[in-house]
Structure 1
Amino acid sequence: MPSLLETCRELFGSDDLYEILGVKKESSNKDVKKGYHKVSLKVHPDRVSPEEKEEATKKFQALGRVYSTLSDENKRGVYDDTGEVDDENDVTQDRDWSDYWRLLFKKVSVDDIKTFEKDYKDSAEELEDLKSAYVECEGDMDKIIDTVMCATIEDEPRFAKILKLLIKKKEVPDFPSFSKEGKAKKTARKRKHEAEAEEAEMESKKLGLDGDSSLKALIQKKQQSREEAANDFFSQLEAKYAKPKKNSAKSKRKK
């Protein structure tokens, strides 16, 4: 079997384990875990198309080995000091990385989404996301609502009030697309979002989706033109609520 560093160079174009997880050398174990979770979601075999599955599986397995190295204090110390990984004594190479991943990260539930939304709205984090979205989208409220996590058409009056205050304080530019937006565009936006929500709900009922899947479908339908943002939304949610399944872990050790 190729060494971990060789595999990383082939699959990711880098043998810097921290870079691959999108974290820094001085990152805490918690941040390393979040980095692993976020990157692994993008290549999880269950989340990619059939034609991408083979390549994704290789990357997913490699990411598991990367995290296994950096989450172990001794292995991480050796890597930090030497830039090398002890592949010969790595007994985890044949591990089932899907089982390992699921032991680390539980599935997001409807309650998790609702709790996240409750904590996120009107928070400092949402405010920063709104400011960034406003600047990135140059004041286009259609795109802003599609970009900010958990945002719906009902948030528009609240967003508008916040943005007007930020413009007044000169914390963000005054984009004409925001300050001079016409009534017709606002009405069209409302109709569009209502139609998308209704379509997603009807589709979920037709497919017999449960509450969890239905809620996810509604969110992803709203952000279908912002696939990366939608994926990042669930990535952040799963990272926030990613707690080891204690019972599963115990049962594994007993085997």
Structure 2
Amino acid sequence: MPGLLDICQDLFGSNDLYEILGVKKESTAKEVKKGYHKVSLRVHPDRVSPEEKEEATKKFQALGRVYSILSDENKRGVYDETGDVDDDESDVTRDRDWSDYWRLLFKKVSVDDIKTFEKDYKDSAEELDDLKSAYLENEGNMDDIIDTVLCATIDDEPRFTKILKGLIKKKEIPDFPAFSKEGKSKKNARKRKHEAEAEEAELEAKKLGLNGEGSLQALILKKQQSRGAAADDFFSQLEAKYSKPQKGGGKRKGKK
């Protein structure tokens, strides 16, 4: 039976455990955990299409084994010194339910978490940096700006416009025509798109048993789920910020 390093080489094209998690050898335990979380989100069996599920499951299991080594001070020390892992010991973990293990580390993000994150994020220095980056990367296209900035909806457009005009006046960012010369027809189209999304969000909120502001959080959640890699970063920030290990150890079950 192939060892973990051979499995990693086959699945990820590398047998460097740090490289697989996207971290450095000198990374802290917190950084290793964040790296594991970010990579595992991309291949979580519950977040991929049916045709990708089999390979994603294999990768998800391998990532769990990788993290179980790098999160253990002694096992990590042996790996750092020798470049090898104890496959006999690693085999013991093969039958662990890695979904249970993952959920012990990262709880699901709730609507309340999104509300709290949104409250802290809006009007923060972090949001301002993200807004400037989105403006520059999208050359002033407000549609793309709203789709890029975390938690943003069309309700933030007047606020974003005021901030960006101030930054342009101070010459901190260039004046892109797509921003300063945007026509009413495009703005109206964006408004109609928002209204359609809001209706969908209302339905989603009802499915989730939410009322009132819940529709806004449902809209944010829906928009973020459609943003590809950006969604991973969004959920990564939320889950890393609000997740706390649940009490009790993981139970051994069949593999997922």
TM-score (norm 1): 0.89
Cα distance in structure 2, aligned partners of 1:125 and 1:173: 20
Deviation larger for 179-188 or 98-107: 179-188
Matches within 5 A, 1:185-204: 185-202=186-203
In the alignment, which residue of structure 1 is the partner of 2:34?
A: 34
In the alignment, which residue of structure 2 is the partner of 1:20?
A: 20
In the alignment, which residue of structure 1 is the partner of 2:115?
A: 114
Matches within 5 A, 1:225-236: 226-236=227-237
CA contact (8 A) 1:197 1:222 kept: no
Unmatched tracts of structure 1, length 5 or more: none
In the alignment, which residue of structure 2 is the partner of 1:67?
A: 67
Unmatched tracts of structure 2, length 5 or more: none
CA contact (8 A) 2:115 2:217 kept: no
Deviation larger for 169-178 or 229-238: 229-238
- Taking CA–CA contacts closer than 8 Å with sequence separation of 6 or more, which of the two structures ends up with the larger relative contact order? 2
CA contact (8 A) 2:134 2:149 kept: yes
Cα distance in structure 2, aligned partners of 1:215 and 1:189: 17
Relative distance call for 1:187 and 1:224 in structure 2 (3 A) is farther
Cα distance in structure 1, aligned partners of 2:125 and 2:196: 31
TM-score (norm 2): 0.88
Cα distance in structure 1, aligned partners of 2:46 and 2:16: 26
CA contact (8 A) 2:38 2:232 kept: no
In the alignment, which residue of structure 1 is the partner of 2:134?
A: 133
1:101 partnered with 2:102: yes
| 1:66-88 residue CA offsets vs partner (Å, 9 max, x unmatched) | 10011011111122222221212
In the alignment, which residue of structure 2 is the partner of 1:209?
A: 208
Q: 1:150 is aligned with what amino acid?
A: C
* Deviation of 1:30 (Å): 0.9
Q: 1:245 is aligned with what amino acid?
A: Q
1:152 partnered with 2:146: no
Relative distance call for 1:170 and 1:78 in structure 2 (3 A) is farther
Relative distance call for 1:185 and 1:155 in structure 2 (3 A) is same
CA contact (8 A) 1:126 1:148 kept: yes
Cα distance in structure 2, aligned partners of 1:203 and 1:94: 37
Count of aligned pairs between the two proteins:
249
CA contact (8 A) 1:38 1:236 kept: no
Greater than 4 Å deviation, 4+ residue runs: 212-217
In the alignment, which residue of structure 1 is the partner of 2:176?
A: 175
* Deviation of 1:225 (Å): 5.4
Q: 1:233 is aligned with what amino acid?
A: F
Deviation larger for 59-68 or 237-246: 237-246
CA contact (8 A) 2:45 2:53 kept: yes
What SS is found at the alignment partner of 2:88?
A: coil
CA contact (8 A) 2:150 2:234 kept: yes
Compute the RMSD of aligned alpha carbons: 2.3
Deviation larger for 47-56 or 141-150: 47-56
Q: 1:28 is aligned with what amino acid?
A: T
| 1:109-168 residue CA offsets vs partner (Å, 9 max, x unmatched) | 111111111111111111111111111111100110011110011111111122122223
CA contact (8 A) 1:110 1:215 kept: no
Q: 1:229 is aligned with what amino acid?
A: A
* Deviation of 1:252 (Å): 5.1
Cα distance in structure 1, aligned partners of 2:181 and 2:243: 43
Q: 1:26 is aligned with what amino acid?
A: E
